[in-house]
């Protein structure tokens, strides 16, 4: 069983936390406060399950490349410790469990889940053809936002699209930090990433993307989320972005990887500010 836990990065929860916090933030906004235990459970478990299924798909797709990258060389599928068939079957089982949760919501959300699955399947191959595959990941990692609104309201209002677009820039920021860790290896094997495409403008674009994310969420949520907690959270978020700059400005592997792993605290900060503001109404 431990090999399957390694496959889904169970000991590295940053991946599914990056998905979870903006999804829960959108869920709170859509419900105008606590959304109820049912939807909280559906979206929390669904996020973990789909992120885990995505890891299975990604590792199968990248198995011939991962062996040449220091960070990924020991992944189970790459080393042969787990077969391609076993990884795909496990991923399919996880996706079906996530779909079973979605079936407890409504028809609109179920429809959106198919689109989310399609993007999840496409992303691992985007790195072969697109110079900015992180943008594709941004779409995949933002699908929880419109689904949160459809689960509560039955539709996707303009606010949800603004939040989705802002979140896409956040994904671009932190996944470019992630790509900076592997840039030397990716250049050797011909992989396409935003870190390679942006070149010497990588740090600048990351900082701009962070600012677009925070400002777009701040401005769009002001009419809906008010109170001291929200503004404290926004201030802390800007502080964290400044800290990330100090970690990545030298473009060293350890600093870039640390910045990436700390991003879930940025997401948590914004979610906590949103939830606390509704709780204080």
DSSP calls for 137-206: HHHHTTTHHHHHHHHHHSS--HHHHHHHHHHHHHHHHHHHHHHHHTHHHHHHHT---HHHHHGGGHHHHH
| C-alpha closest to that of 87 among 45, 44, 116, 58 | 58
Contacts 24+ apart (CB under 8 A), 258-263: 259/174, 259/177, 260/14, 260/174, 260/175, 260/177, 260/178, 260/181, 261/14, 263/14, 263/18, 263/170, 263/173, 263/174, 263/177
The residues near 109 (Cβ < 8 Å, ≥ 6 apart) are 102, 147, 150, 151
pLDDT for 29 equals: 97
Mean pLDDT by 10 residues, the chain (281 residues): 85 89 97 96 95 88 76 81 90 94 96 90 78 83 95 96 97 93 81 86 96 96 88 95 96 94 96 94 71
pLDDT digits (tens, 9 = 90+) for 203-260: 999 999 999 999 999 999 998 887 899 999 999 999 999 999 999 999 999 999 999 9
pLDDT for 62 equals: 76
pLDDT for 216 equals: 96
pLDDT for 67 equals: 78
pTM across the whole model: 0.93
pLDDT for 182 equals: 83
How many residues make up the chain in this entry?
A: 281
The residues near 123 (Cβ < 8 Å, ≥ 6 apart) are 54, 58, 133, 136, 137, 140
CB atoms within 10 A of CB 145: 27
Question: What percent of the chain lies above the pLDDT cut of 90?
Answer: 62
Structure tokens at 215: 């400002």
pLDDT for 11 equals: 81
Do residues 47 and 20 make contact, with C-beta atoms less than 8 angstroms apart?
yes
Q: CA torsion 237→173→120→22, rounded to 10°?
A: 10
Q: Which domains does the chain carry?
A: 2-279 (1.10.357.140)
């Amino acid at each position: 069983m431990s090999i399957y836990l390694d496959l889904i990065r169970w000991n590295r929860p940053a991946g599914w936390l990056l998905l979870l916090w903006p999804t829960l933030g959108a869920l709170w906004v859509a419900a105008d406060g606590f959304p109820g235990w049912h939807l909280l459970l559906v979206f929390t478990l669904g996020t973990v399950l789909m992120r885990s299924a995505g890891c299975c798909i990604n590792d199968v797709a990248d198995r011939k490349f991962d062996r040449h990258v220091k960070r990924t060389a020991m992944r189970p599928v790459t080393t042969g410790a787990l077969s391609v068939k076993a990884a795909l079957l496990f991923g399919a089982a996880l996706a079906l469990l996530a779909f079973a949760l979605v079936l407890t919501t409504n028809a609109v959300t179920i429809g959106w889940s198919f689109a989310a699955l399609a993007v999840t399947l496409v992303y691992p191959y985007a790195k072969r053809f697109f110079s900015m595959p992180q943008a594709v990941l941004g779409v995949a990692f933002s699908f929880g936002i419109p689904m949160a609104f459809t689960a509560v309201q039955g539709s996707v209002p303009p606010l949800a699209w603004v939040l989705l677009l802002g979140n896409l820039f956040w994904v671009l920021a932190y996944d470019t930090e992630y790509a900076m860790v592997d840039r030397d290896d990716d250049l050797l094997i011909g992989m396409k990433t935003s870190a390679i495409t942006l070149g010497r403008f990588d740090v600048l674009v990351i900082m701009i993307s962070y600012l677009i994310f925070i400002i777009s969420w701040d401005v769009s949520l002001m009419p809906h989320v008010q109170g001291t907690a929200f503004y404290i959270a926004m201030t802390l978020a800007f502080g964290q972005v400044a800290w990330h700059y100090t970690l990545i400005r030298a473009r060293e592997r350890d600093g870039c990887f640390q910045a990436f792993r700390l991003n879930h605290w940025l997401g948590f900060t914004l979610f906590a500010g949103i939830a606390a503001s509704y709780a204080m109404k």
